[in-house]
Structure 1
Amino acid sequence: MWPVSLPIAESDEDYDWDWDWDIADKIDWIIHHITGGFKLYATKGWGGLLQAKTNGTGAPRASHVTEGAAAGSSGRDHVLGPALPRSSSRVVSMMIDTGTTGPLFDALRADALTSPDQLAELYSQPNPNALRKETDHLTEQTRALIGCSSLVFIGSADAEGRADVTPRGGPAGFVSVLDERTLVIPDATGNKRLDTLHNVLQTGRAGLVFLIPGRPTTLRVNGRACVSARPELLEQLTPVGKPPVTALVVHVEQVYPHCPKSLMRAHAWQPEKWVSADAQPASAEVTLAQLNLPGLTVEQVEEAERESLRLRYE
């Protein structure tokens, strides 16, 4: 059995997703009373953990997994685990019994879906317009959206299929549209790992998601990619006042305006819905744990991070 963390919802809105308890006939829910609280066992894997809905007989709805719940009972505001205070965002420790030993991923992968036919059994067909609105070029409107975007996430993978997603930011319009099939993203000063650039060198592919702060819809662009150091191109890419060392050039093959549901569910642009800073692990704390260097302190990491931003925020 493996412990798993599940975010606690603060209201019905947080997990009011269109998942159907009827689909969960593959899930065997067993509520087991342990040490004054409840542990949840899902014998068929992770997929059913958020598919439960309150049915009056103890099957908890995902939106009812909330803080401050009285452990050991059924209905609204019941947590799968000991009661927790409402002082901050927390996670609930859960257990998954897959009936096997070894790495959790391998156990869950054992009965994972493997074919499109299996997906077709679980999902209905997409709305025809969801397919129709994909194009192989940029329109005047999607070009305008890119011109308003100040943040893009770049997905790439190396030759062995190891995937990576990284953000790129700048003033609105920092990504240049050369024509209806060509985008250029300047490579600003960063950590010099060059993960995206190395991946593109190996596979020549990239996927982009453009965001506009305050706007719930996003724009997906996929296509071939290359890394350019051509001086006459770089000289035109000066969103921070100077040409970049290189630029990522994307040949557009797929353009898809994405619906707003994900950002709406995340309350991405609603500060009053955000988890308070006090409830989050500090950046320096996360970095310190990742580095795992004896003698290094949070204060030293904080200073290094401040200095890094001061010298490289360009």
Structure 2
Amino acid sequence: MIRTTEELYQLYPEPKERALKKQLSRLDRHCQRFIELSPFVVIATGNASGFDASPRGGEPGFIKVVDDLTLVIQDSPGNNRLDSLKNIVESGQAGLLFLIPGIDETLRINGAAHVSVDEEKLQLFASEKRAPKVVIEVTVEEAYLHCAKAFMRSKLWADESRRERSVLPTMGQMIHEQIGRSGSPESQEEMLARYAQDI
């Protein structure tokens, strides 16, 4: 088991200058454009009890760039577990990974975060189907474009990588089994119809 960073660096070379210098302390025009084009982000949060990575999606531009240090993310309707929100309230931090379909590079942002009910921030999402109860405001501390290697290895966007939904049981069937419920599980069609009310 590796227990120190010194042990790690006995196995790995030092990062190259380019990998270090590309880390920015604010959003330049390329980072801002990446966010504007992204319909999907993973929010990573944690607290003393554990960690969470939560997917969030919407039309490109669903995350608002207020300025070169500030992002605002609406809390869209979900499962009401509030894992990310609770973690942010407790830790005051979040990491974001932005994806754009068809593009292998990603954008990583780390920073201070808080949950807000500020009316001015909520109004940024006034045109949404459902106004959010809260928003997540992230103050950028680190921003950098991540190389394409992981997506190239996975071929995530390639047509041949796509799988038919039928390779897995329906979500209803899987959860039904996991929690030991009796009766008939929710069908895929019923689930999609239910989700459509919140999208």
If the length of structure 2 is used for normalisation, what is the TM-score? Answer: 0.93
SS in 1 for 2:196: helix
Q: Which has the higher contact order (CA 8 A, sep 6+)?
A: 2
Matched, 1:290 2:178: yes
Pick one of 29, 40, 64 that aligns with 1:176.
Answer: 64
Instruction: Mark the CA change 1:180 to 1:162 in structure 2 (over 3 Å): closer, same or farther.
Output: same
1:267 equivalent to 2:155? Answer: yes
Structure 1 residues 211 and 291, CA gap change in structure 2 (3 angstroms): same
**C-alpha separation in 1, matches of 2:110 and 2:192:** 35
With over 3 angstroms needed to count, the CA separation of the structure-2 counterparts of 1:153 and 1:241, relative to structure 1, is same
User: Counterpart amino acid of 2:40?
Assistant: L
**1:89 aligned residue:** none
Partner of 2:28: 139
1:118 paired residue number: 7
CA offset at residue 256 of structure 1?
1.1
Moved over 6 A (4+): none
Instruction: Summarize the Cα distance change of 1:140–1:163 in structure 2 as closer, same or farther, 3 Å threshold.
Output: same
Specify whether residues 121 and 186 from structure 1 end up closer, same or farther in structure 2 by C-alpha distance, changes over 3 A only.
same
Q: Which has the higher helix share?
A: 2
State the match for 1:225 in structure 2. Answer: 113
Q: 1-side partners of 2:127 and 2:19: how far apart?
A: 34
Same amino acid, percent of matched pairs = 34
Which ranges in structure 1 are unaligned for 5 or more consecutive residues? 1-111
Q: Distance in 1 between matches of 2:20 and 2:104?
A: 20
Q: Is the 8 A contact 1:210 1:218 kept in 2?
A: yes
How many residue pairs match? The answer is 199
Task: Give the alignment's Cα RMSD to 1 decimal.
Answer: 1.6
Q: How does 1:1-314 map to 2 (within 5 A)?
A: 112-158=1-47, 160-238=48-126, 240-293=128-181, 295-298=182-185, 300=186, 302=188, 305-313=191-199
Q: Which structure has the bigger radius of gyration?
A: 1
What amino acid sits opposite 1:205 in the alignment? Answer: Q
Q: Is the 8 A contact 2:72 2:121 kept in 1?
A: no
Relative distance call for 1:218 and 1:239 in structure 2 (3 A) is farther
Distance 1:283 1:243, change over 3 A: same
Structure 1 distance, partners of 2:180, 2:155, is 33
Deviations 1:106-128 (A, max 9, x none): xxxxxx11011111111112111
- Partner AA of 1:127 in structure 2: K
